[in-house]
Amino acid sequence: MPDRRTDRRHFIGGGAAALAAPLALRSLAVAQPKYPASPVRLVVPYAPGGVVDAMARIWADRMKPFGTIVVENQGGGGGTIGAASVAHARPDGYTLLFGDTSSQIIAPYLLLHPPYDGQKDFAAISMIATSSTAIVVHPGVPATTFDEFIRYAQGHQAKLSYASAGTGTVTHLAGELFKQLTNTPAILHVPYRGAGPGLIDVISGVVPMMTPNVTSQVLDFHRAGNLRILAVCAPARLKAAPDIPAALETLPGLVVGLTCGVLAPAATPQPITEQISEATGAIARQAEFAAALQASGLEVRSDVTQAGANAFLAAERERLIPIIEKAGLERQ
């Protein structure tokens, strides 16, 4: 016959364990530190004042309800110096990178011994917005539409040159892709140290063509008649300038832009990266955020999730590297 006292002891012991389990879990949850418990350092791998820097500061300002984000500029090496510092930082969520197409794909690919792997050494959190490039010409160029300019370039390629913001930048790739798609290999590339000097020379007529990122300044120059934007190298017309056609309306495939977003060191805990991604998603849905970016020539991406960030970077890597290889850019 079973010992009822033993059964009762088992029942009481089992019941106590069942009651203790939620208490233990609750204690464990309480023990987890709140994130962020202190300011988060956001590394922008370029000098202040550029497209990526402007975007980073808009994002950091909108993230105030989430926590304090301190922007730190670490320029040099085409974005690789700042990106490398984040790749090798402690993966605790307190050091993030505001990276872009160049820092994650182009710049490390062009280095024979890159200081990081743009894919393996980072956890992509959110790719937030894109600054598209454009086909821009001096007003004296005898072409008022993109179609006219393509025909002009094909007939005068040996005498034509284009300015970029520097070798290996997305503006350089935009020019090379234009050459590849229009079969105009003789057009000369003239690299500048940044977009500003190149724009000055296009406006003054020193260089007839440029492929800059579309910024509020470039749009102002266009509207003032200082230069002519013939087409934007975007998947669709820009909300900030719907009157300017997208290049692919005439030349399918001519899409090149600088997409910016937030990344963390690869081993950063998933709950932290998800928290940042969710907060970014909430910001991206705000009309004021989109308006602030559009004023700077940027367009918010429709998918700012972690899955979307990883898919985008993988697709861009697969698309851009063949363009780089065909252009014959030397790895150093």
SS (H, E, C) 282-301: HHHCCHHHHHHHHCCCCEEC
Asked if residue 313 lies in contact with residue 105, where contact means CB atoms within 8 angstroms, the answer is: yes
Q: Where in the chain is the domain with CATH 3.40.190.150?
A: 40-131+257-327
Which residues make beta-bridge pairs with 126? 262
In three-state secondary structure terms, 82 is helix
| Rounded mean pLDDT, 53-73 | 95
In three-state secondary structure terms, 73 is strand
Q: What is the pLDDT of residue 78?
A: 85
| Rounded mean pLDDT, 202-229 | 96
Residue (of 73, 79, 72, 75) closest to 102 by Cα position: 79
Phi, psi of 45 (to 5 degrees): -80, 30
**Nearest-angstrom CA–CA distance, 247 and 207:** 21
Regarding the domain with residue range 40-131+257-327, which homologous superfamily does it belong to in the CATH classification? Bordetella uptake gene, domain 1 (3.40.190.150)
| Rounded mean pLDDT, 132-149 | 97
CA angle 258, 141, 178 (to 5 degrees): 35
pLDDT-based confidence at residue 32 (cuts at 50, 70, 90): low
Tell whether the torsion through CA atoms of 265, 267, 269 and 275 is positive or negative: positive
Average pLDDT score over the chain: 90
**Nearest-angstrom CA–CA distance, 135 and 218:** 11
Q: Where in the chain is the domain with CATH 3.40.190.10?
A: 134-249
Residue 50's contacts (CB-CB under 8 Å, 6 or more residues apart) are 194
Q: What is the pLDDT of residue 171?
A: 95
Query: Does residue 123 carry a pLDDT above 70?
Result: yes
**Nearest-angstrom CA–CA distance, 296 and 241:** 12
**Nearest-angstrom CA–CA distance, 135 and 141:** 12
Q: What is the pLDDT of residue 296?
A: 78
State how far the alpha carbon of 331 is from the alpha carbons of 46, 174, 180, in Å. 21, 18, 20
Query: Does residue 273 carry a pLDDT above 50?
Result: yes
Query: Does residue 192 carry a pLDDT above 70?
Result: yes
Which tokens hold the place of 124?
Answer: 């992509």
The position carrying tokens 């930082």 is 89
Which tokens hold the place of 9?
Answer: 């002891």
pLDDT-based confidence at residue 23 (cuts at 50, 70, 90): very low
Which residues make beta-bridge pairs with 277? none
Query: Does residue 112 carry a pLDDT above 60?
Result: yes
Could you say which architecture CATH assigns to the domain 134-249? 3-Layer(aba) Sandwich (3.40)
What distance, in Å, lies between the first and last C-alpha atoms of the chain? 85
| Rounded mean pLDDT, 266-276 | 97
Query: Does residue 35 carry a pLDDT above 90?
Result: yes
Residue 293 identity: L
- Strands (E) in 101-242, as ranges, are 122-132, 134-137, 161-164, 188-191, 209-210, 228-232
Q: What is the pLDDT of residue 29?
A: 42
Q: Taking the CA of residue 195 as centre, how many other CA atoms within 13 Å lie in the half-sphere pointing to its CB?
A: 20
User: Per-residue b/e over 288-300, b at no fewer than 16 CB within 10 Å?
Assistant: ebbebbbebbbbb
Higher pLDDT, 24 or 284: 284
| Rounded mean pLDDT, 183-203 | 94
